[in-house]
Structure 1
Amino acid sequence: MLGHLSHEAVIQAPATVVWKLYGGLELARLVEGDGGEGTVLNIIFPPGLGGAPGYKEKFTKIDNENRIKETEVVEGGFLDIGFTLYRVRLKIVENGDDSCIVESTIEYDIKEEDAANASLVTIQPLIDIAQAANDHLLHNKQHKNV
């Protein structure tokens, strides 16, 4: 069973700045690679968040020219509950000199016998990341102008 979720968020910063932020490795522990395609990250959640304690994801596409990054879960997480594919795609689109749009997409495939678990997929964490990125960049911009 194939599924797809998407969301667009406006970030009040230039696309080049947002791309640098989204392309960073600060949010996870690097398992292998240099941050380019093929890099594997170990994503570990703090205790108490519920669900799986973490998973490993691999950067399957990084297109710096078009500002597109794709990752796929390669171990744990959604793969442990019947998903055969869980992919996140982020695209940063220019929206004038001082803003851009973050297009977030989740694509997944799940075994028919585990189809009920598809309800666990949510775009909300990507919405939250976009909001945090916007807040962070606005806060830093204000401090630079002071």
Structure 2
Amino acid sequence: MFGSLSEEVEVKVAANKAWEIYGTMKLEEFAGKHILEKLDVIEGDGGVGTVLKLTFKPGSGISYYKEKFTMFDNDNMVREAEMIEGGYLDFGFTLYRVRITVKDNATDATGSSCVVKITIEYEVKEEAAANASLVTMDAYVVLMKFVNEHLLSCS
């Protein structure tokens, strides 16, 4: 069974400014400060192929997972990462991918705001289909809130 969820937020900074965080490992550093117990770089330098281990604070439902950066497109401000160990894969998922896109806000002629969209795509084995309800945007909404507050305070 395949599914997807997404969330969009407007940020009152230019797209290239937002991409400085959303398009780099600074995003994971924010997660480390606010929602993670520990963040380890297992392999890589932050580009495609980088593997991270994200260990969550107790009580978050998932103890850890490893993710691999599978795509960075700086021109179009899109990045993707896939879970490769732990996390939802332990609950019958065969795919858990997160895509982050930063675009100019089409309704802002001044170019002083952008839209950040985070999309989760997942596939779960039929016998574990009930576990699809575990997938939420909650952690990403919290993360976007912290990042966006930081961007606004620095602009």
Q: TM-score w.r.t. structure 1 length?
A: 0.91
1:87 is aligned to 2:101? no
C-alpha contact 1:11 1:133 (8 A) present in aligned 2 = no
Q: How far apart, CA to CA, are the structure 2 residues paired with 1:117 and 1:104? A: 21
Query: How large is the RMSD of aligned CA atoms in angstroms?
Result: 1.2
Show CA shifts across 1:95-143 (max 9, x none).
24211101110000000000110000001222222221111111223xx
Please report how far the alpha carbon of residue 22 of structure 1 lies from its aligned counterpart in structure 2 after TM superposition: 1.3
2:50 corresponds to which of 33, 36, 39: 39
Q: How far apart, CA to CA, are the structure 2 residues paired with 1:128 and 1:13? A: 18
Please report how far the alpha carbon of residue 62 of structure 1 lies from its aligned counterpart in structure 2 after TM superposition: 0.5
Please report how far the alpha carbon of residue 13 of structure 1 lies from its aligned counterpart in structure 2 after TM superposition: 1.0
Alignment of 1:1-146 (within 5 A): 1-25=1-25, 26=29, 27=32, 28-49=39-60, 51-95=61-105, 96=108, 97-141=111-155
Identity %: 50
Q: How far apart, CA to CA, are the structure 1 residues paired with 2:23 and 2:100? A: 10
Q: How far apart, CA to CA, are the structure 1 residues paired with 2:59 and 2:137? A: 20
- SS of structure 2 residue aligned to 1:36: coil
- SS of structure 2 residue aligned to 1:20: helix
Show CA shifts across 1:56-111 (max 9, x none).
00001100100000000000000011000000000000124211101110000000
The worse-fitting range, judged by mean Cα deviation, of 124-133 and 35-44 is 124-133
- SS of structure 1 residue aligned to 2:136: coil
Runs of 4+ in 1 over 4 A off after TM superposition: none
Structure 2: tracts of 5 or more residues without a match: 33-38
Show CA shifts across 1:17-36 (max 9, x none).
11111133224321101111
Structure 1: tracts of 5 or more residues without a match: 142-146
Q: TM-score w.r.t. structure 2 length?
A: 0.86
The worse-fitting range, judged by mean Cα deviation, of 64-73 and 119-128 is 119-128
Q: How far apart, CA to CA, are the structure 1 residues paired with 2:115 and 2:140? A: 13
